[in-house]
């Protein structure tokens, strides 16, 4: 029984660690995107182009690209 408890605890720690790591990565990526968009606005670059440069496959970027051509 004690082995099962240790395995369960280890799995729990792994899952919590993965969730924290993914959350941290996403927050840092979003902060970097925000900073780059703010810099683009100051320089007169289209902020939508900067957002779409991050590779998010969403409707806004698809419409932006289709209207640019």
Task: Read off the pLDDT of residues 15-59 as tens digits, 9 standing for 90 and up.
Answer: 999 999 999 999 998 899 899 889 999 999 888 888 888 776 678
Domain that holds residue 48: 2-68
> d(Cα 58, Cα 68) in Å, to the nearest integer?
16
pTM of the entire predicted model: 0.67
Confidence (pLDDT) at 13: 97
Q: Give me the number of domains the chain comprises.
A: 1
Q: Are residues 40 and 52 in contact, defined by beta-carbon separation less than 8 angstroms? A: no
Tokens representing residue 32 in the block: 């970097």
The DSSP annotation for 27-60 comes to HHHHHHHHHHHHHHHHHT--HHHHHHHTT---HH
Say which residues have a Cβ less than 8 Å from residue 41's Cβ, sequence separation at least 6: 47
């Amino acid at each position: 029984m004690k082995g099962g408890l240790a395995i369960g605890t280890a799995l729990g720690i792994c899952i919590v660690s993965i969730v924290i790591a993914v959350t941290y990565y996403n927050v840092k990526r979003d902060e970097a995107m925000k900073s780059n968009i703010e810099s683009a606005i100051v320089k007169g670059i289209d902020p939508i182009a900067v957002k779409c440069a991050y590779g998010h496959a969403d409707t806004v970027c698809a419409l932006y690209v289709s209207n640019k051509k």
